[in-house]
Amino acid sequence: MTHFGNQIVPAEFPELKMLVWNRDPAHPIAAADAFALYERNWRFVDRENLTPRETLLIKELTEEYGHGLMLV
């Protein structure tokens, strides 16, 4: 990942923060885990609520960990 690094702080991304409802959103998680959370829980993501920064994060995670594909 070029832009965000290998650790993601869910609290910095509204929809990811919602997906980690059972953890401390201020605690960084591995970028691969963030991708897995988005992919596994995409049905809960409010796409209209995605910020440009979070949209970029999802795009970069998809390129890096999904090889360009998110299985949703």
The answer for residues whose C-beta is within 8 angstroms of residue 10's C-beta and 6 or more apart is 16, 17, 19, 20, 23, 25, 26, 27, 29, 34
pLDDT given for residue 32 in this prediction: 97
Q: For residues 72 and 66, what is the distance between their CA atoms, to the nearest angstrom?
A: 11
Handedness of CA 20, 25, 30, 34 (dihedral sign): positive
Q: For residues 65 and 48, what is the distance between their CA atoms, to the nearest angstrom?
A: 23
Prediction pTM value: 0.93
The answer for residues whose C-beta is within 8 angstroms of residue 33's C-beta and 6 or more apart is none
As averages over each run of 10 residues, the pLDDT of the chain (72 residues) reads 86 97 96 97 97 97 96 92
pLDDT given for residue 3 in this prediction: 81
